[in-house]
Amino acid sequence: MAMSYLFTAPTSCFARPRKSLRDLSSRLGSQSFLEWELLGKAACEKRGGGQIGKNSLTVFCQQGVVSVARKDEAVSQSFDGSTAQLNIVMKFGGSSVASAERMREVADLILSFPNECPIIVLSAMGKTTNKLLLAGEKAVGCGISHVSEMDELSFVKELHLKTVDELAVDRLIVSGLLDELEQLLKGIAMMKELTLRTKDYLVSFGECMSTRIFAAYLNKIGAKARQYDAFDIGFITTDDFTNADILEATYPAVAKRLHGDWIRDPAIPVVTGFLGKGWKSCAVTTLGRGGSDLTATTIGKALGLREIQVWKDVDGVLTCDPNIHPKAEPVPHLTFDEAAELAYFGAQVLHPQSMRPAREGDVPVRVKNSYNRQAPGTLITRSRDMSKALLTSIVLKQNITLLDIVSTRMLGQYGFLAKVFSIFEDLGISVDSVATSEVSISLTLDPSKIWSRELIQQELDHVVEELEKISVVNLLQGRSIISLIGNVQRSSLILERAFNVLRKNGVNVQMISQGASKVNISLVVNDSEAKQAVAALHEAFFEDGFNAEIQSDDGQSQNGSGVLPYN
């Protein structure tokens, strides 16, 4: 029996998947149904997503979605380039959608790209998440009768009702959710308890409302849009409430849902950022503060989009936190590794996990300013010309704890290190930077753990107690990590300049760590000296033309090509 297939692919897909389609068709053409299913599965896995139906196979390719449907007898193969495909994801943070006026501007911004078919990801409006968390904490102690008068609840209600009124969309879009929110807070007040699971449900109201308002507004101005709650479209996560991880199953599920709806009835998808659904509990989870960036990159990978755009209130990723040093400037180009390291070491501009899906899917990320569209922003890709900038940014993480641990036992180094890290593992505490010698180890912990659970004093005491069974421990609080992100293959040059500056400023470095990442050197200093040190380092590396000088002096990178490969 002759097998035959109908292929559909958008024009934007032709560049790369045409070959894949041919490969697939020739490979599938001579197979039995069972083999076809197996090959289909392999293709889906390789390409990051897909689905196998009884009589159809859909594979999501790099540049879009390729549908492959089997037809019974008649041989037919066609490419249909007429349907525009979802090709980018645009994420707008709380600062970008803080008011009705901002929502109008964001809608205008989206529609100013008529050739793009974007998926929109939104965070909660302005400071809504913080207000909801505060409301939850207050509700625990305020008594049920006082819930309705809580300032935080009034703030959230007024902000959302005012926004729907100003955008002239129906109040019903949010009024039901606001009632439910009040009921939830009353429940918390009644139980006098706010669990992590309840916290996640509580904050989810922020994204659920912002996306509903925005989608309604787009529809009102004639741009057909469809709202989605991430927890309903396949964002499957671990059950680590307040800091859940995205599970692999998410990618094909999200692609299937968004693409399927788009093919059936095209409408701009407006998806809640930050939210997921726990795979065991089936309850709403959140991806950690700032998690909407991760929602966007997950969608980018799931659908193999051309670009992920993350719109903020700054001109891109800056050379340092503008709140710490006002002379911070935009960084034009970063690698995924540099951006991940920068986020992990404290730059709040990106969620620490958000680069992972983008890197895995090799989808470029562009960080842009929704208040200043013309600014070029920052492009984050697999590799960059390393001769262009020796250092890309300086990140400061304050209020960390430094632990100096000296072995008292006759353990070999491997035994000692293994024991130390097993203690951290047992206590579920992650370590930031590490420096070791034969019998001692220095490491840093982040007590505020903004991206995960709180490391409270009690836990810190517990760590010390456990470590003291095998070592002498010196716990030093009030320290900062200054991370120098850039081409660490040139570490001698970076360190020479950095130590020169720090010595001149009388700053003593208490620990130094250069990981295998090849993009980060971390220096630990006293909190009291940290900001001054960052300002001095920024001046030395970015304000006096040092990066440019290095480029003209010896523009060649270590591998000669100037481009550091990602591996």
Ligand X SMILES: Nc1ncnc2c1ncn2[C@@H]1O[C@H](COP(=O)(O)OP(=O)(O)O)[C@@H](O)[C@H]1O
Chosen from ligand PHD, ligand X, none, partner binding at 300 (C-beta under 5 to 8 Å by type): none
User: Helix, strand or coil for residue 318?
Assistant: strand
The mark string for 372-401 relative to ligand X (x by CB under 6 A, - otherwise) is ---------------------x--------
Chosen from ligand X, ligand PHD, none, partner binding at 63 (C-beta under 5 to 8 Å by type): none
* Under rule CB under 6 A, residue 123 binds ligand PHD: yes
Residues 6+ away with beta carbon under 8 Å from 207:
122, 123, 124, 230, 272, 273, 274, 275, 292
The mark string for 293-322 relative to ligand X (x by CB under 6 A, - otherwise) is -------------------xxx--xx-xxx
Chosen from ligand PHD, ligand X, none, partner binding at 347 (C-beta under 5 to 8 Å by type): ligand X
Closest contact distance (angstroms) between CB of 394 and ligand PHD is 21
Reading the block at residue 79, the tokens are 């490419």
Q: How far apart are CA 6 and CA 536, in angstroms?
A: 63
Closest contact distance (angstroms) between CB of 367 and ligand X is 8
462 residue type, one letter: H
Q: How far apart are CA 110 and CA 228, in angstroms?
A: 18
Chosen from ligand PHD, ligand X, none, partner binding at 321 (C-beta under 5 to 8 Å by type): ligand X
Backbone angles phi, psi at 397, to 5 degrees: -120, 115
Applying the rule CB under 6 A, the residues between 239 and 258 that interact with ligand PHD are: none
Nearest to 275 by CA among 125, 468, 476, 123: 123
Q: How far apart are CA 392 and CA 333, in angstroms?
A: 8
Closest contact distance (angstroms) between CB of 294 and ligand X is 11
Residue among 199 and 289 whose Cβ is closer to ligand PHD: 289
Reading the block at residue 193, the tokens are 């308890």
* Under rule CB under 6 A, residue 136 binds ligand PHD: no
Given the rule CB under 6 A, which of 49-57, 94-102, 451-459, 521-529 is the region that contacts ligand X? 94-102
Chosen from ligand X, ligand PHD, none, partner binding at 312 (C-beta under 5 to 8 Å by type): ligand X
Residues 6+ away with beta carbon under 8 Å from 497:
540, 541, 546
Chosen from ligand PHD, ligand X, none, partner binding at 241 (C-beta under 5 to 8 Å by type): none
Q: How far apart are CA 555 and CA 386, in angstroms?
A: 9
Residue 544, number of CB atoms within 10 A of its CB = 10
Chosen from ligand PHD, ligand X, none, partner binding at 274 (C-beta under 5 to 8 Å by type): ligand PHD
Q: How far apart are CA 528 and CA 399, in angstroms?
A: 10
Chosen from ligand X, ligand PHD, none, partner binding at 124 (C-beta under 5 to 8 Å by type): ligand PHD
Residue 224, number of CB atoms within 10 A of its CB = 11
Residue among 274 and 542 whose Cβ is closer to ligand PHD: 274
Q: Which of 124, 236, 328, 533 is the binder for ligand PHD (CB under 6 A)? A: 124
Q: Which of 274, 345, 451, 541 is the binder for ligand PHD (CB under 6 A)? A: 274
User: Helix, strand or coil for residue 332?
Assistant: coil
* Under rule CB under 6 A, residue 199 binds ligand PHD: no
Residue among 160 and 289 whose Cβ is closer to ligand X: 289
Reading the block at residue 16, the tokens are 């790369």
Backbone angles phi, psi at 359, to 5 degrees: -65, -45
Residue among 199 and 351 whose Cβ is closer to ligand X: 351
Applying the rule CB under 6 A, the residues between 344 and 373 that interact with ligand X are: 347-349
Chosen from ligand X, ligand PHD, none, partner binding at 289 (C-beta under 5 to 8 Å by type): ligand PHD
Q: Which of 323, 458, 492, 552 is the binder for ligand X (CB under 6 A)? A: 323
Q: How far apart are CA 283 and CA 235, in angstroms?
A: 12
Residues 6+ away with beta carbon under 8 Å from 366:
307, 308, 309, 310, 377, 378, 379, 380
Chosen from ligand PHD, ligand X, none, partner binding at 218 (C-beta under 5 to 8 Å by type): none
Number of residues in contact with ligand X under rule CB under 6 A: 19
145 burial type by CB count under 10 A (0-12 exposed, 13-18 middle, 19+ buried): exposed
Q: Which residues here bind ligand PHD, judged by CB under 6 A?
A: 93-94, 123-124, 129, 206, 273-274, 289-292
